Structures are given as C-alpha cells and as structure tokens.
Structure 1
Amino acid sequence: MTHTYNITGMTCTGCQAKVQSLLSNIPHVTKVDIDLANNKADITMDAHVPTANLQAALADYPKYSLSEAQHHQPVQQAFTDEEEDERSFVETYKPVLLIFGYVGVVAILIASSSGNFNWMLAMRAFMGGFFLVFSFFKMLNIQAFADSYSMYDIIAKKFRAWGFIYVFIELGLGIAYVINFNPLVTNIIILVVMSVSIIGVLQSVFNKRKIQCACLGAVFNLPMSTVTIIEDALMIAMSAVMLIAML
C-alpha cells in the first residue's frame, strides 16, 4: 500500500535525502519517494504504519513537519510518472553531458599536443579532469552529498563518514592523475573504490528506487539511472586498461 503525505521544511536535496533516510528506516516502510518541489512524499509500506509513527521519526528534526495529504488517484499518478519519463535524456542529464564533453575535449587536446595521439595520456587526462570536477561539485555542499550518498552506497549506509571521506579521495585521485603520481597505486585505488561504489548504484537502479544521484553532489537534482552505472563502469574500465598496459 502507498500513501501520500505533505512534508514541509525541506529546502534542498540534502533535506530530501535526510527525510528519505529517516522515513525509510521505519519498520514496514519499503519505499519512500519524495517530491521536493511539491513538498510531498509517497510512502509504500507492507503493513499499515500510523501517521504518528512517521511523525515520530522526524521528531529530532523539528523543522520537518509531516501530515496526511489527500490521496491522489492511481490514474493521476501513472500520468505523472509518464510525464516524468517523457522528459528528454538531454534535458535530464545536461550537466553530466556538458562535463563529459568539456573534459573529453580537453583530454583529446592534451593527448594530441605532441603531434601523435597518445591514448594512455588521453585516459589519464580525462580521469584527472573527471575526478577534479566531480569532487568540486561535491565540495560545494559536503553535508548534503553525504546525506544523499548514504541513501544508496553500501559503505556510507553503515558508516556515514564515508561520504565525507569519499569527496577527498576523489580530489586526491584527480590530483594524482594530473601529476601522474604512482600510476600503479592510483589505478588500483580507482579500481577498488569505483567497484565498491557501483554495487550500491546497481542495487538502486535494478530495484527502481527513485532517488537522487549524488555524483554531482546536491547542486543538480539528477535521478539515479543507468547513466550513473555508465559513469562508474567507465572509470573502472579505464583504470583496468591502464593497469593492464603497465603490467
């Protein structure tokens, strides 16, 4: 069963992630979909959960207020979902596409600067730019990123501080690629970190959870999707290729 509630006090995606996390931990709650723009939440449960229990979960955060909303008809919800699905790919992922485009062009220019195109240099430049740019957006609001990341990452779920640590790992890896610091160690770290990271992404996408992707922190409200899988898989593949080339 799914019920709709009004939730006030959420001002950013960090608030959204916090409320989603608090409500998701309530017994019998199986799914929480929050519409930040309209201050509403669709909560799915396998057994009835009193509204008072939901409100109690938010009691430690007085700025959030939950109340019952008029139930919308399934047909209307289906229409809303259909409208959301019709939003173009480019419109949804424009920030990510622009970043990949900019970083990709710079990597190609760097790899071609000597006259002969160097694939290894291109990959190193791309990965350096990728991690520096993505860590920058996370740095703008580390708290909000950590809240969002803890919604799906398998380590951050149990050890929330990992979300804060992860930002600086990305920054360090970006710098390591730029200065070509110990390529063997750098690529091994990438392979391990991104392989662990992609597990939570795969679980969320395959379970069709409607949550925010934290790849660009809390600056852009990007949905978790196969695009996130491709991002992580690309980093894993590049690091693996560079490792094989060094062995």
Structure 2
Amino acid sequence: MAEAQGKTATLYRMVMKQHLCPYGLKSKDLLERRGYIVEDHHLTTRKETDAFMAQEGVDTTPQTYIDGERIGGYDDLRVYFGVNRPKDEQSDTSYQPVIAIFGVAFLMALALSWYAFGDILTLRAFEWFISISMCFLAVQKLQDIESFSTMFLNYDLLAQRWVPYGKVYPFGEALAGILMTAGALTWLSAPVAIVIGAIGATSVIKAVYIDKRELKCACVGGSSNVPLGFVSLTENVMMLGMGIWMLIKVYG
C-alpha cells in the first residue's frame, strides 16, 4: 500500500459551472486522507479538458500524477493505495446489496421490538426481521421488474411454464412481507409466502444443486452480481418457514 505524509500529488479534474466531476472530488479526498498535498488543477471548459486528454493520451478525467508517474483515474488511485485489487483480479460477484438489506432489516426489527416491547430480543423481532427483509428484497426487484423477470426465467420452474409469474412474484413477496409486518390478514399472507417460497426453493435446488448450473441470482434485482445458490435459497426458505409459522401461530 502506498502511503506518504507530506508528499505532493498532482490532480487534473473537471470543475465547470455546469459540471463538477464527482470522481475528481473523490480522488482529491482520497489523496488528502493518505497524507498528500494536492496540486489541484481545474479543467474549467470542455475545450481545455479535451486538450488535456489529447496531450496526455488519456480518454477520461480525473488524472492523478505522483512522483512524475501517471497513476490514472479514481479507480486506478484506489488500486495504487491498495484499497481495490487490479481490475483483472477483481471478481464480478458482490454480496454488498445482500448484506445491506439483511443488516438494515435486522436493525429495524430490533428497533421496532424495542419500541413496542421495551426489549430488543423478542420473538416478534425475529418475525419482523424476516418480513422486513421480504419487503426490501421485493423493492429491489420492483425497481426494474422487466430485468428481474428476465433473469428469473433462467431458473424458476413456474415462471418457465407461465411467464407472467416473473412479474407477479415481487408483488406477492411485497404483499406478504407488508401484511406479516402488520400481523394482518394471515389467511392471505401466509399462503402467498408458502407458495412462492416453496416454488422458489425447489427451483433453486434443482438449478444449482441438481443440474449444477452457474447462474446469477435474481433475488436482489435484475442487475444482481450474486451467484444463484445459498442467498436465494435462504430467501425462499425464510418465506416458506415464515408462512408456515404464521399459520400455526394464528390458527394452530
């Protein structure tokens, strides 16, 4: 990792009335946090920017120079400082959306439990964690339902037989999650969760563990870089289990 207190870095970035380059700001901030004094050169017009890129033989700005060596743009600077791996070593897989969804859902469930019961560790908190997670996952899918439904068709058994199910699924997941969070209309929410959870779990098991296919998981939306497998199976098993539990709790 490159570190240097008091050393100087030269940065060229776009600073125009109609456009302030965010990656230029991020580059400047990263350099300063690493102890560099930044010689900050503003490219204030499109003509000036084009002339700079032509002179340096680059296609983008910002550009950072350290000890006379061109480091490159913001991503290159992160590699230089050891924050990121080089591009050819980086994986396309990212679990960050999954971690964010389940992490925030868990904290929200604890907060609701504290508010309602004065205690964070309650059975209702666990129920809220699952139902809120279902809502968040549904929102991810509903952001681009066309993209989700297309990816979903790669492995879901019902969607492959009835294509519109790919667009129905997120609404069913959201409906079940909202009703379960409210503790309302269990006669509706529980069967919906059981049906879509059971079909989803069966589809994932067949695609991944029987057919050994390597697919992207549509669980966090159509632009997901999460491999199909444990995460999607967990989502569906959670829905299935929650549906069964709510039926037993209310009608058992």
Question: TM > 0.5 between the two?
Answer: yes
Counterpart of 1:218 (choices 218, 222, 246) is: 222
Contact residue 205 and residue 226 of structure 1 kept, 8 A: no
Larger radius of gyration between Structure 1 and Structure 2: 2
Q: Does 1:237 align with 2:241?
A: yes
CA distance in 2, matches of 1:178, 1:238: 11
CA spacing shift, 1:208–1:227, aligned 2, 3 Å: same
Deviation at 1:152, TM superposition (A): 0.6
Partner AA of 2:213 in structure 1: R
Deviation at 1:118, TM superposition (A): 6.6
Contact residue 123 and residue 238 of structure 1 kept, 8 A: no
Q: Does 1:161 align with 2:164?
A: yes
Q: Does 1:122 align with 2:107?
A: no
Partner of 2:110: 108
Partner AA of 1:236 in structure 2: L
For structure 1, the 5+ residue unaligned runs are: 1-82
Partner AA of 1:214 in structure 2: A
> Could you list the per-position Cα deviations for residues 33-57 of structure 1 after superposition, in whole angstroms to 9, with x for gaps in the alignment?
xxxxxxxxxxxxxxxxxxxxxxxxx
* Secondary structure of 2:162's aligned partner: coil
Greater relative contact order, per chain length (Cα 8 Å cut-off, separation 6+): 1
> Could you list the per-position Cα deviations for residues 109-128 of structure 1 after superposition, in whole angstroms to 9, with x for gaps in the alignment?
21232224574422332233
Structure 1 residue ranges, 4+ long, deviating more than 3 angstroms after superposition = 116-120
CA distance in 1, matches of 2:119, 2:221: 37
The TM-score with structure 2 as length reference comes to 0.58
Mapping of 1:15-164 within 5 angstroms? Answer: 92-113=94-115, 114-117=117-120, 119-164=122-167
Partner of 1:171: 174
Superposed CA RMSD in Å reads 2.3
CA spacing shift, 1:122–1:171, aligned 2, 3 Å: same
CA distance in 1, matches of 2:220, 2:96: 12
The TM-score with structure 1 as length reference comes to 0.59
CA spacing shift, 1:223–1:115, aligned 2, 3 Å: same
For structure 2, the 5+ residue unaligned runs are: 1-88
Q: Which moved more, 1:176-185 or 1:103-112?
A: 176-185
Contact residue 137 and residue 219 of structure 1 kept, 8 A: no
